[in-house]
Structure 1
Amino acid sequence: MAGSALAGGTGVVVTWVVARTLGPELAGAFFAATAAFVLAGGLAKLGTNTSLVYWPARLRATGRGHLLGPCLHTGIPPVAVLSLVLAVAMWTGAPAIARLTAGESAHVVTDHATGLRVLAVFLPLQALTDVLLTVTRGYRIMRPTVLLDRVLRSGLQLLAVSAAGIATLWLAASLPVFALAWAAPYLPVTLLAGYAARRAYLAGRPDGVSSERSERRQLRRDFWRFTGPRAVAAVAQLALQRVDVLLVAALGGLAPAAVYAVAGRFVVLIQFANQGLSQSVQPRLAEALSTGDRAAANQLYQTATGWLVLVTWPINLLVIACAPHYLRLFGAEYTAGVAVVQVLAGAMLVATGCGMVDMVLAMAGRTSANLGNVLVALAVMITLDVLLIPRWGALGAAAGLAGAMVVNNLLPLAQVYRGIGLHPFGPGTRAAALLALVCFGPSILIPSAAAVAVPAYVAGAWLLRERLMLSAFSTRSRRRS
């Protein structure tokens, strides 16, 4: 969680540097280029960022640890090949993508295309970094993800982008330079992630047990049968998070795209918190569900949701209360996004209250249902975007994303409850939600009340620490467990 908070915070600062130094048009092009980069990387991973946790955890829990090597050999090489193919496609198609999202401005189109090509060079590194770190999490090892992705990559991005921003004091601002500064940290992180994955595999490899060819063949079939729906769902999930920026740029212009990206940056911060908890819970949840221990799975789900609400609801409520002041930090032109912030924050209250429900559905093996949910949510978002962006601009995109988030959480919530018997509304979730509303709800009407809300919230969390299961963070409790 601390690593996720650091990564989210550095992301906000990077957004601030880009918005302040490039101006709305070039900043919009930068955010559109990084959105395309992340979407292509998500496609290259083929859903293995779920499968390479699910299958190692399942193989260990069911006594088939000798198949861990074949499992990794099944999942990793296709990602490397497809990421190279997509990098070439992104390089080749950069001018067309730039013209589609940047309009007719020749200067912006040229810089945008060059920035896309810079990012294309690092696309295979991005995909491999995520997959190799997923392998370590499949072995219940969280430290490489925290240290390499959350701390090292985010820290290097902040330093490099800040250096590019400082350089604009003497040189003209250049989108390709900012793209290079943002993407270059993937090189050292990929190398270190490969070392960490190899070390985890060698440490967990059972001695003296070999796998039969028929076992390996069956594993490959089962792996891709599970992964296929998840691959499409992962891309659709990324599209939910990123394609709206591209749509605003194409339908509304680059300046509204910049306003939308800046106004919605806090959503990424909350997604980092959700991702940090999900990645920690994921291997244990897969093991519990694979052995039929639903009581343990439900406790994991409810406890993690309580922690997620405890961390994220105050952020959402404070963002609603302080939206004009928050946006003014990025520049006066970004205060037009106040309504965008408020709509997205309201939707995030619903989404985080459901916990990491899509991950629970996937760890139960219901990847086809997961795919259907994400596709429905994506269709809702694109439909609303196409209808509303030409009329309302960034606010139309916010309405589309908010609708998609609500659908993408309530649909799997119903499926998890009816099909598996799990739900997130345990004592900790209820206590965290009530505490956040009591402490931070008044600040929506009286923003100065936030000064009193913070110490009251900390005191309340301490008094409710047993109900919130906060004792799990103590060393003594972990040793006893």
Structure 2
Amino acid sequence: MTDLLQKSGATKAVARGGLANMIGSALAGGTGFAVTWIVARSLGPDQAGAFFASTAAFVLAGGLAKLGTQTGLVYWPSRLRATGRPELLGACLRTGLTPVILASLGLAVAMWLAAPAIARTTAHEAADVVGAHTTGLRVLAVFLPLQALTDALLTATRGYRAMRPTVLLDRFLRSALQLLLVGAAGLAAASLPVVALTWVAPYLPVTVLSAYAIRKLYRASKPPGATTHRAERRELRRDFWRFTGPRALASVAQLALQRVDVLLVAALGGLVPAAVYAVAGRFVVLIQFANQGISQSVQPRLAEALATGDRAGANHLYQTATGWLVLVTWPINLLVIQLAPLYLRLFGGDYAAGRHVVIVLAGAMLVATGCGMVDMVLAMAGRTSWNLVNVLIALAVTIGLDVLLIPRLGALGAAIGLACAMVANNVMPLIQVGRAVGLHPFGPGTRAAALLSVSCFGALPLVAGPAGLGLAVPVFLAGVWLLRGPLALDAFTCRPRRRTR
């Protein structure tokens, strides 16, 4: 009975954090979609392709600067609290954040200096864009330390089980400011460097507020009069980077897996195919936001469960979260497959060639989300070196197929490369988690969500045509209500406490 109550309490806590994160992720995904639409409409295919290539290089460099601390700054604070060593939390934060600051400054300088070479490589077929492309890259380079530090600080707040800073500052504030500023630049028909500045400027206030949030959480949780010894701090630093080191390489490879394809399309196919590919795959970012929204809420509790040997509780969290992820993302993927031409026409006639890109990527995302946040589960189980190997294999797959297929198929070649890499990067850790840790995502909630999504948004439109699409949403909502038990949706309800005499 006690185990059941603990599982229920953990599920409700994850649901509360996950719901807030999901709402924030929906806003961030929606504003990101709107920003892509504004850029595609206002800059034209050539300059839009340069913008997407610039932001891909910026995010890739920022991921490298974070040195894998997205995992370490959640895993170690959670572990220190679960094992009764909160006095080491300050040393843990310094261990994780100081190298990020130094690495991001160095990479910002490198990006500034390499901007002309990057611009010439990715815009070789559009010489008139190279100058603006170079300036845009340098504008982004100035803000690179803020981007890396913001993500590291917000990751640290999640290590304290605090989801609110991530939701309010990153999902709401940054996304809203980006939409407002980029929208104003689009209305003013601004140049590529100005659009890049409006896109990146919101990192400044978000960084300041993120630093305040982690400072407040640290002071609230610091034990009064607690002292630490030099040997303890040295041991923590060694253990932190022994755990985080492989994850640092894996996170860079993971980010490269998501971003390097845009750069390769621009270099091997041209800026216009790069713009088509970025626009056609924009919905993938929306799915990734949903995944982050749920996994970031699950991550600290999963780390605590695995640290204390609670395999049953960890498996329950993993399966429940995967069911929620499938319930949210599979309808989006299936709808995108059904409505690919309409989806692309929103961005203009120049992007209609991306229909097959959409279908290939949506199919791969069905497999990836069906495995749940499996790479995070593998990392929280301490197998960061396995995670590194998996991501490197997936990165090799996508780069190899991109180099082979982009010159022949353009954006579709990049989509095939990314799809194969996504499948490999989810199936391999799925097998490893099952064999080494004894966890799997295929609980009753996952099965119910998959069956309901495929029936309503796959089979029904296929059988009934356009009328089936109209019926899909109400039938899906009715099914969600009937299957709320297996889907564990009661965790999202707040029951009033009964009064006692």
Fold shared by both chains (TM-score > 0.5): yes
Worse-superposed segment, 468-477 or 458-467: 468-477
1:288–1:297 Cα contact (<8 Å) kept: yes
Aligned twin of 1:378: 395
What do residues 77-97 of structure 1 show as CA deviations (whole Å, max 9, x unaligned)? 110011011001111110000
2:401–2:416 Cα contact (<8 Å) kept: yes
Aligned twin of 1:115: 136
CA distance in 1, matches of 2:496, 2:359: 39
Aligned twin of 1:263: 280
Aligned twin of 1:459: 478
CA distance in 1, matches of 2:48, 2:496: 47
> What code does the residue aligned with 2:415 have?
A
How far 1:211 moved relative to its partner? 1.1
Worse-superposed segment, 435-444 or 278-287: 435-444
1:103 pairs with 2:115: no
2:125–2:270 Cα contact (<8 Å) kept: no
* Superposition pairs of residues 406-425 of structure 1, within 5 angstroms: 406-425=423-442
Q: How many residues align?
A: 476
CA distance in 2, matches of 1:322, 1:423: 32
2:46–2:272 Cα contact (<8 Å) kept: yes
CA distance in 2, matches of 1:273, 1:105: 36
1:17–1:162 Cα contact (<8 Å) kept: yes
How far 1:107 moved relative to its partner? 2.1
What do residues 305-355 of structure 1 show as CA deviations (whole Å, max 9, x unaligned)? 000000000000000000000000100110100000000000000000000
1:320–1:444 Cα contact (<8 Å) kept: no
> What code does the residue aligned with 1:82 have?
A
How far 1:448 moved relative to its partner? 4.3
1:43 pairs with 2:64: yes
> What code does the residue aligned with 1:428 have?
G
Cα separation, partners in 2 of 1:331 and 1:478, compared to 1, 3 Å: farther
1:248–1:256 Cα contact (<8 Å) kept: yes
1:44–1:79 Cα contact (<8 Å) kept: yes
> What code does the residue aligned with 2:308 have?
T
Matched position secondary structure for 2:407:
helix
CA distance in 2, matches of 1:428, 1:207: 44
How far 1:49 moved relative to its partner? 1.0
- CA-based RMSD of the aligned residues comes to 1.3
> What code does the residue aligned with 1:222 have?
D
What do residues 424-480 of structure 1 show as CA deviations (whole Å, max 9, x unaligned)? 00000000000001111132572442211011111110111111001111122999x
> What code does the residue aligned with 1:163 have?
A
Worse-superposed segment, 423-432 or 451-460: 451-460
1:368 pairs with 2:389: no
CA distance in 1, matches of 2:350, 2:120: 24
Aligned twin of 1:15: 36
Cα separation, partners in 2 of 1:199 and 1:328, compared to 1, 3 Å: same
Aligned twin of 1:55: 76
Aligned twin of 1:391: 408
> What code does the residue aligned with 1:325 have?
L
> What code does the residue aligned with 1:429 have?
T
Cα separation, partners in 2 of 1:328 and 1:119, compared to 1, 3 Å: same
CA distance in 2, matches of 1:5, 1:449: 25
CA distance in 1, matches of 2:218, 2:484: 37
What do residues 392-426 of structure 1 show as CA deviations (whole Å, max 9, x unaligned)? 00000000000000000000000000000000000
Worse-superposed segment, 445-454 or 185-194: 445-454
How far 1:167 moved relative to its partner? 0.3
How far 1:200 moved relative to its partner? 0.7
CA distance in 1, matches of 2:497, 2:240: 33
CA distance in 2, matches of 1:274, 1:437: 19
What do residues 186-216 of structure 1 show as CA deviations (whole Å, max 9, x unaligned)? 0000000000010011111112221111111
Matched position secondary structure for 1:422:
coil
CA distance in 2, matches of 1:444, 1:309: 20
Aligned twin of 2:451: 434
What do residues 128-167 of structure 1 show as CA deviations (whole Å, max 9, x unaligned)? 0000001110000000000000000000000000000100
CA distance in 1, matches of 2:367, 2:397: 17
Cα separation, partners in 2 of 1:156 and 1:360, compared to 1, 3 Å: same
How far 1:66 moved relative to its partner? 0.8
1:152 pairs with 2:169: no
How far 1:6 moved relative to its partner? 0.7
CA distance in 1, matches of 2:217, 2:233: 21
CA distance in 1, matches of 2:422, 2:276: 20
> What code does the residue aligned with 1:149 have?
D
Aligned twin of 1:176: 193
* Superposition pairs of residues 87-98 of structure 1, within 5 angstroms: 87-98=108-119
CA distance in 1, matches of 2:297, 2:413: 35
Matched position secondary structure for 1:475:
coil
Q: 1:449 aligns with which of 457, 460, 468?
A: 468
CA distance in 2, matches of 1:249, 1:119: 18
CA distance in 2, matches of 1:188, 1:477: 38
Q: 1:303 aligns with which of 320, 327, 335?
A: 320
CA distance in 2, matches of 1:438, 1:224: 46
CA distance in 2, matches of 1:447, 1:253: 37
> What code does the residue aligned with 1:458 have?
L
CA distance in 1, matches of 2:178, 2:410: 30
* Superposition pairs of residues 217-296 of structure 1, within 5 angstroms: 217-296=234-313
How far 1:104 moved relative to its partner? 4.8
Q: Runs of 5+ in structure 1 lacking a partner?
A: none
How far 1:300 moved relative to its partner? 0.4
1:474 pairs with 2:487: no
CA distance in 1, matches of 2:294, 2:217: 21
Aligned twin of 2:18: none
CA distance in 2, matches of 1:460, 1:30: 42
Q: Runs of 5+ in structure 2 lacking a partner?
A: 1-21
How far 1:105 moved relative to its partner? 3.0
What do residues 232-265 of structure 1 show as CA deviations (whole Å, max 9, x unaligned)? 0000000011000000000000000000000000
CA distance in 2, matches of 1:120, 1:448: 50
2:46–2:126 Cα contact (<8 Å) kept: no
CA distance in 1, matches of 2:462, 2:360: 13
2:125–2:271 Cα contact (<8 Å) kept: no
What do residues 268-288 of structure 1 show as CA deviations (whole Å, max 9, x unaligned)? 000000011110000000000
Aligned twin of 1:24: 45
